[in-house]
């Protein structure tokens, strides 16, 4: 009894149709994506996909041996991605990127999303422990600051950064501060576009700042960009490195201070900014949280974005709440560019 017809006679048409539906909805619809993402992420992190993007076809076994990896597992992961149509295969262990995989590796937005998601891997892995109150974010686990910083920079490079750069160009600012700078991607773009500009960045993550300083040195910008590890809530303490700043920006950082009645930490951060840099325009790029019903009607990255922020005790809010926080902190001049299609607002406050 080995044919499909024989099995159908034994189990019945109804059970066979039910099994088919389970395969489509459970395995192909959800479980497969989880495995494929982890496989893709692993090969991205160990550098194999980058090698394929640069060289075309790579012997995965040789790559593994060269980098001290398990060659059998590396080839097995490549085989799985080949079977899923992401890699092409030209020999027992020789693989290259299919067109869509090449886009995922080389496009800054998609690659940034992979790093960003990987930065919350530890949080997602312990989701059940968080739900059961066996663990608490901030005390028992935290995100990977370096991956989040690098991923955020890449994801913003070709969209949000150019929009804010235009505002800087229009106003003629030449000493720019980035609060929550991550690896300094935005500041590197500022200095490349404006030869006379200098820049300073502040970020809480030592790993992100270290990665940024390495890239700044590699690009020959060390004499124009300074990155510092620091707490944005204590901005007045960094006045020595903030001298001559004539404009400041922050990208998707303010919501990290939100949470709890009245969002006192966010207000405290904004007041600290006014105390340290009175009168300096502050360009704030922030998400605008829609209701779940709206996200169901128009799905997109916002669904997962707000979920992993909820898991890590960050609470993005709506437009009216943002403006209320600015007013409470003493900012009277507030301009807004609302990008409804991206569920994002760019506020300029003074």
pLDDT tens for 241-283 read 898 999 999 999 999 888 778 899 999 999 999 999 999 999 9
The average confidence (pLDDT) of the chain is 93
Are 8 and 82 in the same domain? yes
The number of angstroms, rounded, from the C-alpha of 33 to the middle of its chain's C-alpha atoms is: 19
**Residue 248 near residue 280 (C-beta atoms within 8 A):** yes
Measured between alpha carbons, how far is 295 from 45 in angstroms, rounded to an integer?
Answer: 31
Tell me whether residue 241 is exposed, middle or buried, using C-beta atoms within 10 angstroms of its C-beta: 0 to 12, 13 to 18, 19 or more: middle
Residue 254 counted as domain residue: yes
Dist CA 292 CA 304 (whole Å): 11
How many domains is the chain partitioned into structurally? 2
Q: Are 67 and 200 in the same domain? A: no
pLDDT in tens, 29-45: 999 999 999 999 999 99
User: Which residues contact residue 229 at a Cβ distance below 8 angstroms, ignoring those fewer than 6 apart?
Assistant: 202, 203, 204, 205, 206, 209
* Domain housing 23: 4-106
Q: In terms of domains, do 94 and 138 share one?
A: no
1: confidence class by pLDDT, cuts 50, 70, 90: low
Structural contact between residues 273 and 235, judged by C-beta atoms closer than 8 angstroms = yes
The closest of 288, 284, 349 to 315, measured between CA atoms, is 288
Instruction: Kindly state whether residue 272 falls inside one of the protein's structural domains.
Output: yes
Q: Please tell me the predicted confidence (pLDDT) of residue 222.
A: 94
Give the CA diameter of the chain: 82
Do 316 and 193 reside in the same domain of the chain? Answer: yes
pLDDT of residue 12: 87
Cβ atoms within 10 A of the Cβ of 275, count? 12
Establish if 120 belongs to a structural domain.
no
Q: Is 236 helix (H, G, I), strand (E, B) or coil?
A: helix
The Cα angle at residue 59 between residues 58 and 60, in degrees rounded to 5: 100
Paired strand residues for 347: 284, 336
- State the CATH number of the domain containing residue 64: 1.10.10.10
Structural contact between residues 134 and 176, judged by C-beta atoms closer than 8 angstroms: no
SS3 300: coil
Instruction: Looking at the structure, tell me whether residues 79 and 15 fall in a common domain.
Output: yes
What pTM value is reported for the model? 0.85
* Position 264 in a domain: yes
> Are 303 and 182 within one domain?
yes
Same domain, 298 and 205: yes
Span 149-177, pLDDT tens digits = 888 888 898 999 999 999 998 888 889 99
Residue 130 in any domain: the answer is yes
Sign of the four-CA dihedral 60, 65, 66, 68: positive
Sign (positive or negative) of CA dihedral 63, 69, 73, 74: negative
In a domain, 69, yes or no: yes
- The answer to whether residues 134 and 72 belong to one domain is no
Q: What is the pLDDT of residue 25?
A: 95
Residue 340 in this model has a pLDDT that exceeds 70: yes
What integer is the mean pLDDT of 185-193? 94
Residue 117 resides in a domain: no
The answer to which of 44-53, 97-106, 249-258 has the lowest mean pLDDT is: 249-258
CATH code, domain with 143: 3.40.50.150
Where is pLDDT greater, at 158 or 95?
Answer: 95
For residue 180, being part of any structural domain is answered with: yes
Within this chain, do residues 262 and 230 fall inside the same structural domain, yes or no? yes
The predicted pLDDT at position 170 comes to 84
């Amino acid at each position: 009894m080995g044919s499909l017809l024989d099995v159908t006679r034994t189990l019945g048409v109804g059970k066979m149709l039910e099994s088919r539906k389970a395969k489509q909805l459970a395995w192909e619809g959800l479980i497969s994506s989880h495995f494929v993402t982890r496989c893709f992420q692993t090969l991205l992190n160990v550098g194999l996909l980058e090698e394929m993007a640069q060289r075309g076809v790579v012997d995965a076994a040789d790559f593994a041996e060269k980098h001290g990896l398990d060659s059998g597992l590396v080839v097995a992961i490549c085989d799985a991605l080949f079977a899923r149509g992401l890699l092409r295969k030209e020999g027992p262990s020789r693989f290259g990127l299919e067109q869509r995989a090449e886009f995922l590796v080389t496009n800054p937005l998609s690659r940034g999303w992979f790093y960003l998601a990987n930065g919350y891997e530890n949080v997602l892995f312990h989701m059940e422990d968080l739900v059961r109150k066996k663990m608490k974010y901030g005390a028992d686990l935290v995100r990977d600051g370096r991956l989040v910083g690098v991923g955020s920079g890449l994801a913003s490079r070709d969209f949000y950064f150019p929009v804010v750069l235009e505002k800087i160009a229009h106003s003629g600012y030449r000493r720019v501060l980035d609060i929550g700078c991550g690896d300094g991607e935005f500041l590197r773009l500022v200095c490349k576009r404006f030869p006379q500009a200098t820049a300073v960045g502040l970020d809480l993550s030592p790993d992100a700042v270290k990665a940024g300083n390495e890239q700044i040195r590699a690009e020959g910008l060390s004499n124009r960009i300074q990155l510092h590890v620091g707490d944005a809530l204590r901005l007045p303490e960094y006045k020595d490195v903030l001298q001559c700043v004539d404009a400041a920006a922050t990208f998707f950082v303010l919501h990290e201070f939100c949470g709890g009645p009245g969002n006192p930490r966010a207000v405290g951060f904004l007041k600290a900014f006014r105390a340290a840099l009175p009168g300096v325009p502050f360009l704030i790029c922030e998400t605008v949280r829609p209701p779940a019903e709206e996200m169901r009607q128009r799905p997109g990255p916002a669904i997962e974005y707000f979920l992993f922020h909820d898991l890590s005790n960050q609470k993005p809010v709506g437009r009216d709440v943002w403006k209320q926080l600015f007013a409470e902190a003493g900012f009277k001049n507030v301009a807004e560019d609302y990008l409804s299609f991206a569920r994002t607002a760019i506020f300029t406050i003074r």
